[in-house]
Structure 1
């Protein structure tokens, strides 16, 4: 299925499938073969033969004997028919190499067992100070191993393949003859994969890589997908049910999906996913942000087993200041409409614990979970004797004084973190003066966690408080327009050069989804969606068209490392 109305005007001018790469008929191939003395030295070459072809037509041939630095072994003379007498008057490699490089310039280099021939040419360029050409290299032997079935040919030697493809040229270990035979093998392999959607040189190169035939055969799934931003879903049919295996996003759905059927995708779980999948579906989007948000929502809805981040996306941890007569700090996973104060979210429980311990280090708020009432008292704990708790349990602090401590904690979390920093500085310096560096480093880590989460809290909470933000950002010639309500993306549109952005924005607002106000500091969307929206809003060039609410952070609500120089300089190093 293809949903959405993304740029119908652009669909008429949509590029063809072949335009995603260089079409094979437009590629000039230089098919080369080298004969050598058997040594690995760069100047061990005894003959170079090459054929230049394009679109099945031979454009030229290159052949020359080369005088190597050493004698040709007798076995090699018998194998190739090239004798010492034949190369005695032949030019040396430094004289031959420039002519060959000019012949092969701008070509895709093709050879049978290409690492051998290409390796000699690279070493020769290095030996004689010629810049090594940046050839695209095709290996017909590697391609044949991937394209041909095991029962079709006994092996992938050049002579075997030449017979299989009915080449009029029989390889005989002479460079030009073998290059001509390799041309016929190359054309035979190209014809073989033409019905598999291989139309470009980029596609053809993939066949020299290790990709299973079953995976490669599914590449046709991409041909009907849109050239537009959006989301793609790999699905598997199970009877009448359809299971979503994987959800991804891209600025170009078709191009991205095609990579899953090539060697460019090397993740093992993705290889397994493609084998299991029975099809790909697409949801076309107007903007890249809409695609990101759509991906997050689909992952949250379907929890695809091949999306690693789909595991437990709802798990968040918050610090809660309870509403008891003597409030305390509590770690919770859910924000409720209970008039309590919440701070977070934390992705991991350990991070929430670290932030809570930073608050305990800075403020004498009680740490016990005992229910304390105004009518009765109970014995104090060891923390009270150590001065780490104000001890409301034994009545040594009044409720009004205890409320002032709670208000300081609440302010440190929501308005001004400086009191928490100041409360910890004296303790840090004392620990450092006692050379208790590990303890001091632990406290600094706790405070860093607290301030880092404070940034996330204020960033998300600030857009959650806004009933509506309408913003636009220019991308090339178009304007991306988004309607954000309580931190949730409610609408997206694209204003083309011939359209008035303000009019497009008004239409987008009119059709945007209705979003109910969220509870407390929560946005109306998931935390990750709100952060993606904030990322977009904070980009350079974003213009606010309309805003209903106060999109702001408290001045001292977040202190970065740069704003804590005295604290960070306490520890040596």
Structure 2
């Protein structure tokens, strides 16, 4: 027997008059789905105001009916002699309701009993879309018009042809009339599909609803949408796997943010860019945000505003925090304070100088530096150094940044352990958090740099329907994208998008000039399940000593920091932090 299935989004967007509803009502032996049982099911299947069928049966609950239930419903234990048990009834009801929107008055009660029965019978509960007429009535009707949303009160308000009697089929028939009355109330306010019906909120103005026509021309495909204002300026940029459905939600109340309502009030039209798949949409969104800097977006508008740590160009190099990425730099950091913390930490453990005097190659560093415990340079710990002797420190920094040596990270971790052994738990926790910031930036940079180093990478990922999402990446930028539908051989499509892909000219920075957020998005996509590397111009790999092997350590450190206020510092610091290779 085929079971009911969840409606697809396309089905949910069909007009209400084409949507099939199954309105159900139950009678039970009590109020708890965990301990009580169903005694009667009544259901009516309707579409477009026409009754397609009815389902009604008494059910033997396997127990006597409490007197107060008999008084309420009129159903006695004698009436249930010979009635079928729930195990015979439930499969038939689920078949009756297959593919429909399930409707009930106080739906949580009815679906709760049905789900509990399915669970006891080991029947998988279908993921029905459920509509509660109590909740809908509270949204649609004013308190003056409907002080009560009981079924009896609403059936009177909407002049139902059937009066509720606390019998399942009568109450289901009355609920059908209430449902139709509520739908009629919102139909002239631009609510024409099930998705719009459940999203209905009285706070949405008529003017906002009237603008739903701005979404009429949009396709139901992945892409980027741009709301434009009175002067054709871009107000907001977003992305979705279904452009029409997402944009239409701005006019039906799904979007509750105040600034979005303000944006919609200003909007005069909606442009769109169709994309092959979600990754291309995400990349194009980032590029459009950078190009237009829309006022109602809050993220990703300034991709070049990160902070980088780099070495100065002098005889005794030191670390400097800059805006522009530099060869062999570390970053980007979104907050300058994090970059400063990381720079101070790396300088301390690499023994890089922190004094700001410019030194010529002929002098020695450390001759005039005070001890570190009174503010001297970390480099002064080794005593006065010539430029050649000092060069070991910047070399160690470069090896760390390039992923050739992570000995510095182990030194940092040992310091945390030493502080914990001395019971200086608060100090150890602060150092741990600083290390986590630094290691996380290194890890993200190494992962992105591995993608950005490849002149051309072609990858594919299976789609749910058996096709392939295809991408061409050149030096960390998405240069081409397509989908090979099921039944179409993907390799000719790969050859076509590779031949027409964007030409990318790299620079010498760690990410080869690619925007950090774009290459990070691509790197994350490449790590998802089902991705296959079709071909690359060179190997796709990270250096053996990159910070990728510290991913689990970073996770543990962040979790420890999050729980720092919920447990003693000793327990927070003393955790198993041995890094492992997660690449």
Answer yes or no: is the 8 Å Cα contact 1:452–1:560 preserved in 2. no
1:240-259 alignment runs, 5 A limit: 240-245=231-236, 247-259=237-249
1:9-48 alignment runs, 5 A limit: 18=11, 20=13, 25=18, 27-30=20-23, 32=25
Distance 2:189 2:361 in 1: 80
The equivalent of 1:318 in structure 2 is: 308
Which of 30, 53, 56 in structure 2 is aligned with 1:59?
A: 53
Answer yes or no: is the 8 Å Cα contact 1:211–1:262 preserved in 2. no
The equivalent of 1:507 in structure 2 is: 496
1:93-121, CA deviations, whole angstroms, 9 ceiling, x for partnerless residues? Answer: 99699599789654466555666x74996
Measure how far apart 1:285 and its partner are: 0.5
Which of 455, 458, 476 in structure 1 is aligned with 2:443?
A: 455
Distance 1:541 1:50 in 2: 48
The answer on 1:481 being equivalent to 2:470 is yes
Corresponding residue SS for 1:542: strand
Which of 280, 284, 308 in structure 1 is aligned with 2:298?
A: 308
The equivalent of 2:66 in structure 1 is: 69
1:60-139 alignment runs, 5 A limit: 60=54, 69-70=66-67, 91=79, 106-107=96-97, 110=103, 118=110, 138-139=131-132
Corresponding residue SS for 1:224: coil
Distance 1:389 1:376 in 2: 18
Measure how far apart 1:284 and its partner are: 0.4
Answer yes or no: is the 8 Å Cα contact 2:221–2:242 preserved in 1. yes
Measure how far apart 1:230 and its partner are: 1.2
Distance 1:571 1:163 in 2: 66
Corresponding residue SS for 1:308: coil
Distance 1:436 1:307 in 2: 44
Which of 327, 350, 361 in structure 1 is aligned with 2:348?
A: 361
Unmatched runs of 5 consecutive residues or more in structure 1? 1-14
Answer yes or no: is the 8 Å Cα contact 1:226–1:254 preserved in 2. yes
Answer yes or no: is the 8 Å Cα contact 1:22–1:202 preserved in 2. no
The equivalent of 1:372 in structure 2 is: 359
The answer on 1:554 being equivalent to 2:547 is no
How many residues align structurally? 534
If you compute each CA radius of gyration, which structure gives the higher value, 1 or 2? 1
The equivalent of 2:401 in structure 1 is: 413
Distance 1:123 1:292 in 2: 38
Answer yes or no: is the 8 Å Cα contact 2:304–2:324 preserved in 1. no
1:470-508, CA deviations, whole angstroms, 9 ceiling, x for partnerless residues? Answer: 444444543433222221112223334565544433332
Answer yes or no: is the 8 Å Cα contact 1:451–1:560 preserved in 2. no
Relative to 1, partners in 2 of residues 1:142 and 1:253: Cα closer, same or farther, differing over 3 Å?
same
Determine which structure has greater relative contact order: mean sequence separation of CA pairs < 8 Å that are 6+ residues apart, divided by chain length.
1
Q: Which one is further off, 492-501 or 521-530?
A: 492-501
Relative to 1, partners in 2 of residues 1:349 and 1:29: Cα closer, same or farther, differing over 3 Å?
same
The answer on 1:516 being equivalent to 2:505 is yes
Distance 1:121 1:188 in 2: 27
1:153-176, CA deviations, whole angstroms, 9 ceiling, x for partnerless residues? Answer: 898676776576565557789987
Which of 285, 288, 291 in structure 1 is aligned with 2:278?
A: 288
Which of 226, 229, 250 in structure 1 is aligned with 2:222?
A: 229
Distance 2:116 2:449 in 1: 64
Answer yes or no: is the 8 Å Cα contact 2:115–2:125 preserved in 1. no
Distance 2:150 2:75 in 1: 27
Distance 1:57 1:263 in 2: 30
Measure how far apart 1:323 and its partner are: 0.5
Measure how far apart 1:282 and its partner are: 2.1
Unmatched runs of 5 consecutive residues or more in structure 2? 1-7, 558-570, 576-583
The equivalent of 2:519 in structure 1 is: 530
The equivalent of 2:480 in structure 1 is: 491
Measure how far apart 1:229 and its partner are: 1.5
1:344-355 alignment runs, 5 A limit: 344-355=331-342
Corresponding residue SS for 2:229: strand
Distance 1:430 1:184 in 2: 74
* TM-score normalised over the length of structure 1: 0.73
Relative to 1, partners in 2 of residues 1:404 and 1:258: Cα closer, same or farther, differing over 3 Å?
same
Q: Which one is further off, 485-494 or 247-256?
A: 247-256
The answer on 1:403 being equivalent to 2:354 is no
Corresponding residue SS for 1:382: coil
Answer yes or no: is the 8 Å Cα contact 2:304–2:323 preserved in 1. no
Relative to 1, partners in 2 of residues 1:198 and 1:389: Cα closer, same or farther, differing over 3 Å?
closer
Measure how far apart 1:451 and its partner are: 3.2
Relative to 1, partners in 2 of residues 1:571 and 1:187: Cα closer, same or farther, differing over 3 Å?
closer
1:323-379, CA deviations, whole angstroms, 9 ceiling, x for partnerless residues? Answer: 01221111112235xxx6422222333332332233233232211111223467896
* TM-score normalised over the length of structure 2: 0.72
Measure how far apart 1:296 and its partner are: 1.1
Relative to 1, partners in 2 of residues 1:370 and 1:168: Cα closer, same or farther, differing over 3 Å?
same
Corresponding residue SS for 2:449: helix
